[in-house]
Structure 1
Amino acid sequence: MTGRAADIKAAALALFAERGYQATTMADIGAAIGIRGPSLYKHVGSKQELLVQIMTATMDTLLANHRAAISGCDDVAERLRRAAEAHVRFHARHRLEAFVGTREIRSLEDPHDTEVLERRTRYERGFRKIIAEGVEAGRFQVASVKLTSYAILDLGMGVSVWYREDGELTEDRLVYQYGDFALQLAGAR
């Protein structure tokens, strides 16, 4: 992505988070980086394209972080901890992406909504698979594998709303505690 395209995407992200997708115009995005609205179309096809870029990049990063976190780890409890920690770390560091990704899913148009939802489903199933393996191995005890994966994901997503670098917890301490929470939710033994 060129420098100008990255600037446009960053401005769109900030404005979508602040005002919402529907209330943000291409002229607003252009003004935020000092380009007239019509000139923006030399760099990007549409506001929808910007939203899709933001949301697919977010999901692709989450999926890659998940794979990297659990790679080479055989212990199911440690894999769950690592996956949860990667999830929370992303949400602590990328609050705007997390906020837009959650709030603006309804603003995606077909076929983009399907593309993003498929990525979200793959991501959730990664957690579900770990939890199911833990249950099967007798390491986790849960009433519902799916509900447990949703609870872990929701906990992490909530971090993007309240966490601040200058707050009470360091990022590393926060991430570790949320790893513990994930293991507790899974009924780790």
Structure 2
Amino acid sequence: MATPDPAPARLEGLHGSRRDAILAAAAEYFAEQGYHSAGMRGIADSVGIKGASLYNHFTSKEEILYAIALKMTRVPVEEHLLVLDESGTPAERLTSLIDVHLRHLAVNRVEHLVSLRELSALTGEHRDRVLEYRKYYQRRVRDVIAAGIRAGEFDDVDALRAAVAALDLMNGVSWWLRDDHDIDALVATYVEYIVDGILRHRPRAESGTGDPTAHR
């Protein structure tokens, strides 16, 4: 299963802390002012640079919003999904994914919230690209759940619906999560909600022999 096409090269031209600082400040501005009320001058002021300098990096506020949304979808695909290819049972690998997913949301809460709330403001091509990444991520989660079902670790549920439910549950924390939340406790709670609750995990001793395709 192929990953979505890479983003346009020009949007990947800014790297490291400078690019992240621009996107983080712009996301805060969008969250406070609302995307449709925001202007490039206000965004530049929030970033702490001159408007002309901002235009050297982005041609419009829509392009900035796209870069924020792309960061919040492409990074998870390229980095988080690596844990699904590691050794371990489907339940163990899904638990690892829940951990990295929630920690990423905790660090990038505002950017994630803006990318969810303002998705409809993206142009069709940009929106489609973001949705490609989201759908691919969803399919990979579905696949590990399906492997757990075949192995007898999880109840015989609809794997796609379970994946959608799990991701919606995790992504929803962006609406209320604050900096002072205990992220370790949050991860433990959501592992219980998803692995033990939605999927009704049964330890390997109860589920019998493993699925020979689980690590594919």
Shared fold per TM-score greater than 0.5: yes
Relative distance call for 1:94 and 1:74 in structure 2 (3 A) is same
Partner of 1:183: 195
How far is 1:110 from its partner?
Answer: 2.2
Query: Separation in 2 of the partners of 1:13 and 1:128?
Result: 30
Stretch moving more, 59-68 or 80-89: 59-68
Contact 1:128/1:145 (<8 A) preserved = yes
Runs of 5+ consecutive residues of structure 1 not aligned to the other structure:
none
The 5-angstrom pairing of residues 75-94 of structure 1 reads 75-94=89-108
Equivalent in the alignment of 2:83? 69
Do the aligned partners of 2:149 and 2:156 also contact (CA within 8 Å) in 1? yes
Name the residue aligned to 2:170: 156
**2:121 corresponds to which of 104, 107, 110:** 107
- Quote how far apart the aligned CAs of 1:106 are: 0.6
* Aligned 8 A contact 1:76 1:130 in 2: yes
- Cα deviation, 1:84-135, whole Å, max 9, x if unaligned, reads 2222222222111210121111111021111101000011111111111111
Which of the numbers 28, 32, 36 marks the counterpart of 1:22? 36
Contact residue 81 and residue 180 of structure 1 kept, 8 A: no
> Does the 8 Å CA contact 2:157/2:199 hold for their aligned counterparts?
no
Counterpart-to-counterpart distance in 2, 1:80 and 1:33: 37
Percent identity over the alignment? Answer: 36
Superposed CA offset, 1:8-39 (max 9, x none): 32321111122222111111112223444355
Please give the root-mean-square deviation of Cα atoms over the aligned residues, in Å.
Answer: 2.0
1:173 equivalent to 2:173? Answer no
Match for 1:188: what amino acid? H
Q: 1:29-69, CA deviations, whole angstroms, 9 ceiling, x for partnerless residues?
A: 12223444355322322111111111111112211332232
Consecutive unaligned residues of structure 2, counting only runs of 5 or more, are 1-13, 203-216
Q: Is the 1:13–1:54 Cα contact (8 Å) retained in structure 2?
A: yes
When normalised by structure 1's length, the TM-score is 0.88
